Amino acid sequence: MSATYLHPRPALTVDCVIFGLNTGLDELWVLLVERGQKPFKGRWAIPGGFVRVGESLETAARRELDEETGLRDVFLEQLYTFGEPDRDPREHVVSVTYYALVNLDDYELEAGTDAKKAAWFPVKRREKELAFDHRRILDVALARLRGKLSYQPVGFELLPRKFTLSQLQRLYEIILEQPVDKRNFRKKVLAMGILRDLGEVQENVRHRAAKLYAFDEKAYRQKEKAGFHFEL
């Protein structure tokens, strides 16, 4: 299994920042796993692991995601590659990072199949004592998410397939941390024409039930080709 090379190489890992929103829609969460070995044993870290030879980076990221948290088929996008030689005390380890967006309810309490402890942390808590440079990675991921949210339709990945306009609005308010005008928001979103009115309403709510919508990806792709640019 060991390998010898003419020149030394840095080790290569993938790490995934996983953002989640619960249906209560009160906060943005990030999924962390507790490290079982040194270094940083007992510290919380974003899930990840070594890239295998012959495996693409995204494949590696999805494999690690599955192994460490049980998550599959989620939205996943490359974030940034960190390669400071001292970011891992053992040796030079370069990490290609990804960020994932999931709806918490679809996966709630999926404790690591890998016997590792996994838990959701509120992003706002800004947990300081993360392993390696993971605090930094999380900050970069959050900045990216905030940026993307405004000009790419990624927010829907954090909601259940069927959602109300109020839920979508709250998502934007929570992540961007600024209030949004209800009427203006609804006008703008609906005017884009990328939501499908499902003709259904919420159930089991103790107030007027809101209409349910779904993101219409086909419509979005078509409009995009025609020069349309998402913006919220």
Partner DNA sequence: TTACTTAGTGTCAAAAGAACACTAAGTAAA
Partner DNA sequence: TTTACTTAGTGTTCTTTTGACACTAAGTAA
The DSSP symbol for 52 reads: P
211 binds DNA (CB under 7 A): yes
Closest to DNA by CB, 32 or 168: 168
Positions that interact with a second copy (CB under 8 A): 1-12, 50-57, 60, 78, 80-85, 91-92, 94, 96
CA dist 20 and 27 (Å) reads 9
198 binds DNA (CB under 7 A): no
Contact segment (CB under 7 A) with DNA among 88-96, 118-126, 140-148, 204-212 equals: 204-212
Q: Which residues contact 10 (CB under 8 A, 6 or more apart)?
A: 83, 85, 91, 92, 93, 94
Q: Which of residues 18-47 bind DNA (CB under 7 A)?
A: none
Residue 225 near which of a second copy, DNA, none (CB within 5-8 Å, type-dependent): none
Closest to a second copy by CB, 77 or 114: 77
Q: What is the DSSP string of 77-135?
A: EEEEEE--TTSSSSS-EEEEEEEEEEEHHHHTT---TTS--EEEEEGGG----BSTTHH
165 binds DNA (CB under 7 A): yes
221 binds DNA (CB under 7 A): no
Q: Is 13 exposed, middle or buried (0-12, 13-18, 19+ CB in 10 A)?
A: buried
Q: Which residues contact 166 (CB under 8 A, 6 or more apart)?
A: 182, 210
First-to-final CA distance of the chain: 51
Closest to DNA by CB, 84 or 105: 105
166 binds DNA (CB under 7 A): yes
Contact segment (CB under 7 A) with DNA among 19-27, 89-97, 159-167, 217-225 equals: 159-167
Question: Residues interacting with DNA, by CB under 7 A?
Answer: 164-166, 181-184, 186-188, 201, 205-211, 231
